[in-house]
Amino acid sequence: MDISERVYGILTSPHTLRITFWFKGVNGNDIFVLGPDFLLVAMSIKANKITIVEGGATRGNAVYTAKDDGPRKANTMYIGPNDYASRSFEALVVHESVHAIYDLKSAVIPWMDNEAAAYIAQGFYANNVGVPDDHVSRKEFIFLGKLIANDFTVNGQIDDLLMGDLRDKLQNDPLYSTYINQTFIGDG
């Protein structure tokens, strides 16, 4: 199975399609991630509107680019060396696919909300496949994503304190410092 087929399979799995949540964005707008949105990404992969590339990201990571960015091409998910059979790889694909969703929908949203939504979706996926909370380091973003997903499942809304923790962590992480306060502009 090639990597595009593997990503397609993850995006069309029941574990992914069950992901549905919403929250108030930093500008007060409603931010949604709905299960069927992942089918949009999967169909775009099949139609060659989104390309999956092995390489172009560091080990254990992936990157989705909405627009050409240096050597990286638009509408491409770059996947670094990973254990492609692992649940963490699957959750990473879900994370990057959230960025693709907003690109395909031509969304204009703060990067803060884009990244927060991606980590929450990643947490939902990890919960849906049964990854216990104690199997994820408290230092990782996905840990907060899992906690937020757990709380949403019980209460039907995002806990403001947990969301504040996730936003603070994003705001203060050097990986995100160059763009987290900017606006994401999807172009379909």
Report which DSSP code applies to 72. B
Q: Dump pLDDT digits (tens) for 109-133.
A: 999 999 999 999 999 999 999 988 8
> Is 80 exceeded by the pLDDT of residue 12?
yes
pTM of the model: 0.95
> Is 90 exceeded by the pLDDT of residue 84?
no
Would you place residue 70 in the very low, low, confident or very high pLDDT band (cuts 50, 70, 90)?
Answer: confident
pLDDT on residue 178: 92
CA 107-112-116 angle, 5° bins: 90
pLDDT on residue 137: 85
Q: Dump pLDDT digits (tens) for 18-51.
A: 999 999 999 999 999 999 999 999 999 999 999 9
> Is 80 exceeded by the pLDDT of residue 183?
yes
Cβ 33 vs Cβ 117: under 8 Å? yes
Half-sphere exposure of 29 (CA within 13 A, CB side): 10
**Range with the lowest mean pLDDT among 44-53, 93-102, 134-143, 165-174?**
134-143
DSSP, collapsed to helix, strand or coil, labels residue 148 as: helix
Helix (H) / strand (E) containing 56: none
* Of 107, 153, 102, 105, nearest in space to 126 by CA: 153
**How far is the C-alpha of 94 from the C-alpha of 118, rounded, in Å?**
7
DSSP, collapsed to helix, strand or coil, labels residue 177 as: coil
pLDDT on residue 107: 97
Would you place residue 139 in the very low, low, confident or very high pLDDT band (cuts 50, 70, 90)?
Answer: confident
Within 10 A of 15 (CB to CB), how many other CB atoms are there? 18
pLDDT on residue 49: 96
Report which DSSP code applies to 67. S
Q: How far apart are the first and last CA of the chain?
A: 28
pLDDT on residue 42: 98
Count the helices and strands in the chain (H runs, E runs).
7, 7
